[in-house]
């Protein structure tokens, strides 16, 4: 499966410059973030993509919308692949609001508040990533599956720390290999 880190978000810009939490909940992509995902889309266009799983945060939903312009695939929403709960950007948007904002996605399986209240440590994120891996590994569409997620989740899944818009190919053994990094990083 291909795991994509969302494009640069408003939070990433400020935190990257100051190393302090700017207090932005569920941030949107920046123009650079959209461009990064545009490059990622170009990379994935000739791959055998058949389905997509997306984290319910705004930045991943926006990234998925950009990817879907060239990859018209069935898309599932999955809170297991959310970011680790640590900063303000890890506070999500309630499911009822997401349903109104993103009517082309099905949020009916989400709890109204689908993100945790409490901080998640690395072991908790790794355990959640393992549950997701075990849930998806038997899927017949594994080779054509695109997962749009976050830095912390990708690190928990395969141990890699990747830049925005990066694509990691994960094999059925759980080994991740970076296969694409967009130019405007």
Note the pLDDT tens digit of each residue in 116-160. 999 999 999 999 999 999 999 999 999 999 999 999 999 999 999
Distances (CA, A) of 66 to 16, 35, 41, 145, 159: 24, 9, 7, 16, 26
The answer to whether residue 71 is domain-embedded is: yes
pLDDT at 184: 61
The answer to whether residue 4 is domain-embedded is: no
The answer to whether residue 102 is domain-embedded is: yes
The CATH number of the domain holding residue 86 is: 3.40.50.1240
How many percent of the chain have pLDDT more than 90?
96
Whole-model pTM: value is 0.96
How distant is the alpha carbon of residue 96 from its chain centre? 20
pLDDT at 61: 98
The SS3 assignment for 118 reads: coil
Of the candidates 129, 92, 86, the one whose C-alpha atom is nearest the C-alpha of residue 113 is 92
The answer to whether residue 67 is domain-embedded is: yes
Can you list the positions of beta strands (E) in 6-88?
Answer: 51-54, 74-77
Would you say residue 55 has pLDDT above 80? yes
The answer to whether residue 127 is domain-embedded is: yes
71 band by pLDDT with thresholds 50, 70 and 90 = confident
The tens digit of pLDDT for each residue in 12-46 reads 999 999 999 999 999 999 999 999 999 999 999 99
Could you list the residue range(s) of the whole structural domain that residue 148 is in?
A: 29-159+172-180
Number of domains into which the chain is organized: 1
């Amino acid at each position: 499966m291909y795991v994509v880190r969302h494009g640069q978000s408003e939070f990433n810009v400020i935190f990257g410059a100051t190393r302090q939490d700017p207090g932005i909940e569920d941030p949107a992509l920046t123009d650079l973030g959209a461009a990064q995902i545009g490059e990622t889309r170009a990379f994935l266009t000739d791959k055998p993509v058949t389905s997509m799983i997306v984290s319910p945060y705004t930045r991943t939903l926006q990234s998925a919308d950009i990817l879907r312009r060239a990859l018209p695939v069935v898309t599932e929403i999955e809170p297991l692949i959310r970011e680790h709960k640590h900063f303000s950007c890890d506070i999500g948007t309630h499911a009822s609001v997401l349903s109104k904002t993103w009517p082309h996605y099905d949020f009916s399986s989400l709890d109204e508040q689908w993100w945790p209240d409490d901080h998640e440590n690395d072991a908790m994120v790794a355990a959640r990533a393992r549950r997701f891996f075990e849930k998806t590994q038997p899927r017949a569409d594994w080779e054509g599956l695109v997962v749009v997620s976050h830095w912390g989740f990708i690190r928990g899944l395969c141990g890699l720390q990747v830049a925005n818009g990066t694509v990691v190919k994960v094999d059925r053994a759980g080994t991740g290999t970076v296969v694409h990094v967009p130019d405007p990083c």
